[in-house]
Chains A and B, each alone.
Chain A
């Protein structure tokens, strides 16, 4: 049983964070970032995030296991067909990886290899079902495994997605396909998060609200223009523009969102993009009535 699954089952407010594998073979920076994440329950390792080519997340997650951290392996359907996904999962299990975040994946047109052929042999729902089947001891073709892997499968949610009903149909399918926890896309709109949690709560699967540390107003515009599913609202951009110390303001915004998520969500997933040392500040009491 992974620590993440135990803490969620125990009803603890869980904190996860995220690191991106290197472009190259040095993992010094990864280990440095992980050290600053000592207090979090588990660390997500992204999979060619934004369709940018980087080191295999299985390799990085395995190093984290070796170093005493608990990873959440992100796995997308963009770059692998059903054979590759299943063999990757079995390999991950051998290396001590239990937590999974199963995704369809950003389209290659966003990344640094825009001409690459998108695979999408399976989608995120199928991948959840594949994991369910592997855990039960069978591959997708129904062939028995010599030993079944132990996984704690999670999926992504988009609380701010519109139309809500359409987005939520997909969420419900993910629950039915075996998602045991959710980590959401970066959220900024607390009204929309509230509405989402009202519906999601009824399905009984823990949700960790995605909270992204904004570092500058320029970054807000970049996110809005380039990152699928992330929408920084006008008033947040204005706060960042007016701030004398934008990073400090970003920390304050993240802190307020964490406070809002307490009592509404089952945890938070922090995306700090190189500012891991600010995690304690983001988790501190925001001093407001959220």
Chain B
């Protein structure tokens, strides 16, 4: 899931300068789970905007606004309300914002900060375990990602700051390489420790267009 959080009200207020009417878009998938852009949050946002004297022309919570075609369809269904607004405020991740930019033809206000690909630990609490780097090593690391969990993203074992299996950046945190080592040892495997892992390639350098 893509984890996101709402921008603070002060920042949002500065983004609303000069706008009198808005159409709101929420997300019934990730942003609903994160409580940053579901039905409830869209409703609260509408209340707040109204209290500021802004007009909310309408709203829609899209089933995954990252889906461009579905976003186009739902915006079409609300064409009159969208047209009436000075801008569309989107309570979804950056991908959702982009779908609305592509398909609304309006000025778009992104109301959230998009944080990371998250695992739900418990309700409302998320962990980052994968960085979407495009060079997956999990098959050799006992399923623990050093790119994400090592503070330096090191590929060839712990740095000199590891102490008693803890990370130099935060002594409360386990060193990712210590976790990998313990995990592989338990399984009687050596895997990633038997070779030098070359530098990462490509991955984030290419951004697919379509």
Contacts and interface: CB of A to CB of B under 8 A. Distances in A.
Interface residues of A, number: 37
Given A125-B157, A165-B181, 13 more contacts: A104-B159, A106-B168, A107-B152, A118-B151, A121-B199, A123-B155, A126-B156, A129-B196, A161-B160, A162-B165, A163-B178, A169-B193, A173-B157
B164 interface: yes
B196 A120 contact: no
B163 interface: yes
Interface residues of B, number: 25
Given A107-B151, A123-B155, A156 B160 contact: yes
B151 A162 contact: no
A166 B181 contact: yes
A198 B200 CA distance: 34
Interface of B: 151-165, 168-169, 177-178, 181, 193, 196, 198-200
A273 interface: no
B153 A166 contact: no
B129 to A, nearest CB: 19
A15 B199 CA distance: 34
Contact of B156 (A82, A140, A170): A170
Contact of B168 (A107, A118, A122, A163): A107
Contacts of B168: 106-107, 110, 228-229
Contact of A123 (B151, B154, B181): B154
B154 A173 contact: no
Contacts of A166: 157-158, 162, 177-178, 181
Contacts of A177: 196
